[in-house]
Each structure stands twice: as structure tokens, then as C-alpha cells.
């Protein structure tokens, strides 16, 4: 019997996919749904409780009462201001310890994981369970990048890796060597909308998504899905490049089918850090 898994669920579809994977594997699980973050429709018929983001102490008590041994953090979480967080005693103690306002997202996640481990939980990465979603090296579908696109991909990985080292974001859009947009707190969709307004004549731009070089490996992997392809096509892009082995493709068959329809390539690239 696999150990009971606690799912700290953020937004998007990935928490639902993880629950389905647990059911398929016959693995017991319990979901901590975060108020104003987790999609309520995904929780029907799944064991869960709702917790506000600043009430980590309550979440820990529930997980221990549920005899959870391993924890996974999955799905994006919008980072609130300190006032909006309304920290409980568990969080408040650690805010003083780690300096909440001085850390970027990755720094906070690393510290949160370290603190959860002191509570006796083993933290695992979602890719341990969702192995079928992990991006592989190579081109998906029938559209392949040309030499100009490959140059833009190389430029994009260089820029995105630099941003990641500063704990800023995971994605950039490059067109003909020019960086049209970089991702920050607004997320990929908003970045793509902005990039579309800066689209230039000639071969379209490329969306590049890469994990931050120093990020905690067990959380926050770059993810693409059907919406990413739709948004990229609407922005006038002609391709998406993601880091093989360190990114998720959700609904892969549908994503590839749509990308082919839009004449947009998707490729997984292995990079040396």
C-alpha cells in the first residue's frame, strides 16, 4: 500500500489530474483546498477540506489527523500581500524567521517545504505521480521549428534562465532575436496578451518556458495546455518550446492536435544548466 498522500491544491487543472492519478493507482489521498485558489468543481466526491492561504497551522492539523505521510504541492497560487494573507500563529512565527516580504516565490516555497518537513511530512514532486505529463525531448506533432525559430529558442532559454536565477518568472517570448515580453507576477496568459500587441512583421515569435535554475524541484514546474496553445496562436506566435524533463504538458493529445491545426510547433528541449 502506497503511503497516504496529502495534496496542497492550488488553481488550474493539475490538482484534479493528480487526484485522478491517485484513484487509478489505488493510492489513498486527502486534499487541502485553498480558498479563492482551488477550483471547487474539481473537488466533488473527493476527500477534502477548505483552508485559507494564511491558515497553514490548520492544514497541518488536518493532515496529521488524516494520517498523511507524503505531501505534494500542485497548481499555481496567487501570492497575496501580507495583510491579505492574515497569517495564523504557525505562519506568523515563520514570517519573522524567514522574512516573508524579502523573498521571491521560489525562496518562499523552499522555506515552506523545509518547515513542512520539520512537521514530519515527506514532500514529493507532482511528477512522481503524474509521470505521463512530463515533457520529453523532441518535436510534438507535424510542425517543426526552422533555423530562425531554433535561434529564437536558444535566445529564449538564455533569457528565461537569467530571469529564473533572479526568481522573477519562467517564460519569455522572443521574435527574430528580440525579446517581446517576459513573465513576472502576471502569469503566462497575460504575458502572451502583451506580446501579441508587440508582434512584428515576418516569422512569428516563440514562447519559451523553463524552470528556474535554482528553484525547488518539487513544486511549480512550467506547464502548458490547450489554453496555452490558443493564447500563443492568438498572439501571432508560431511555436512553443519547453524544457524536457522539467515541464508538464496537460492533455497532450489534444494539445498536439490543436497545435497542428494552428500550424504551431511544440518542442521539448534539453538544456545544460
Domains and CATH numbers, the chain: 5-128 (3.40.50.20), 134-269 (3.40.140.80)
User: What does DSSP assign to residue 28?
Assistant: -
* pLDDT, tens digit, 9 for 90 and up, residues 188-232: 999 999 999 999 999 999 999 999 887 777 777 899 999 999 999
Strand partners, 2: none
* CB atoms closer than 10 angstroms to residue 137: 11
pLDDT tier, 109 (very low <50, low <70, confident <90, very high otherwise): confident
Q: What is the mean pLDDT of residues 61-74?
A: 95
Residue 104 has pLDDT above 90, yes or no: no
Read off the pLDDT band of 266 (50, 70, 90).
very high
The C-alpha cell at 86 is 492574515
For residue 273, the model assigns a pLDDT of: 62
| Rounded Cα gap, residues 27 and 183, in angstroms | 36
Residue 85 — pLDDT band, cuts 50, 70, 90? confident
Residue linked to cell 497542428: 260
With cut-offs at 50, 70 and 90, classify the pLDDT of residue 181. very high
Mean pLDDT, range 18-41, rounded to an integer: 95
Question: Would you say residue 39 has pLDDT above 90?
Answer: yes
Spell out where 81-222 has E strands. 122-123, 138-140, 171-175, 178-182, 206-209
- Region 176-184 average pLDDT: 94
Q: Residue 70: pLDDT above 70?
A: yes
Helix (H) or strand (E) holding 224: strand 223-224
pLDDT greater than 70 at residue 102: no
103 has a pLDDT exceeding 60: no
User: What is each CA distance from 40 to 30, 52, 258, in whole angstroms?
Assistant: 15, 14, 27
Amino acid at each position: 500500500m502506497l503511503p497516504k498522500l496529502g495534496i496542497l491544491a492550488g488553481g488550474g487543472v493539475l490538482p484534479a489530474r493528480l487526484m485522478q492519478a491517485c484513484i487509478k493507482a489505488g493510492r489513498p489521498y486527502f486534499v487541502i483546498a485553498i480558498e479563492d485558489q482551488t477550483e471547487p468543481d474539481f473537488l466533488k466526491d473527493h476527500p477534502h477540506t477548505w483552508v485559507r492561504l494564511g491558515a497553514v497551522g490548520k492544514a497541518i492539523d488536518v493532515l496529521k489527523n488524516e494520517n498523511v505521510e507524503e505531501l505534494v504541492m500542485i497548481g499555481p497560487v496567487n501570492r497575496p500581500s501580507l495583510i491579505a494573507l492574515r497569517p495564523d500563529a504557525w505562519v506568523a512565527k515563520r514570517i519573522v524567521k524567514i522574512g516573508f516580504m524579502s523573498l521571491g516565490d521560489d525562496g518562499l516555497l523552499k522555506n515552506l517545504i523545509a518547515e513542512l518537513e520539520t512537521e514530519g511530512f515527506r514532500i514529493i514532486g507532482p511528477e512522481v505521480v503524474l509521470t505521463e505529463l512530463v515533457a520529453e525531448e523532441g518535436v510534438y506533432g507535424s510542425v517543426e521549428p526552422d533555423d530562425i525559430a531554433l535561434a529564437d529558442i536558444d535566445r529564449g532559454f538564455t533569457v528565461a534562465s537569467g530571469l529564473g536565477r533572479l526568481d522573477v518568472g519562467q517564460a519569455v517570448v522572443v521574435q527574430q532575436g528580440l525579446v517581446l515580453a517576459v513573465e513576472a507576477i502576471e502569469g503566462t496568459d497575460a504575458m502572451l496578451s502583451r506580446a501579441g500587441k508587440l508582434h512584428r512583421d515576418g516569422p512569428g515569435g516563440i514562447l519559451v518556458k523553463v524552470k528556474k535554475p535554482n528553484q525547488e524541484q518539487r513544486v511549480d514546474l512550467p506547464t502548458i495546455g490547450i489554453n496555452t496553445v490558443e493564447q500563443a496562436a492568438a498572439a501571432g506566435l508560431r511555436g512553443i518550446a519547453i524544457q524536457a524533463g522539467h515541464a508538464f504538458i496537460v492533455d497532450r493529445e489534444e494539445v498536439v492536435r490543436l497545435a497542428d491545426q494552428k500550424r504551431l510547433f511544440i518542442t521539448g528541449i534539453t538544456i545544460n544548466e
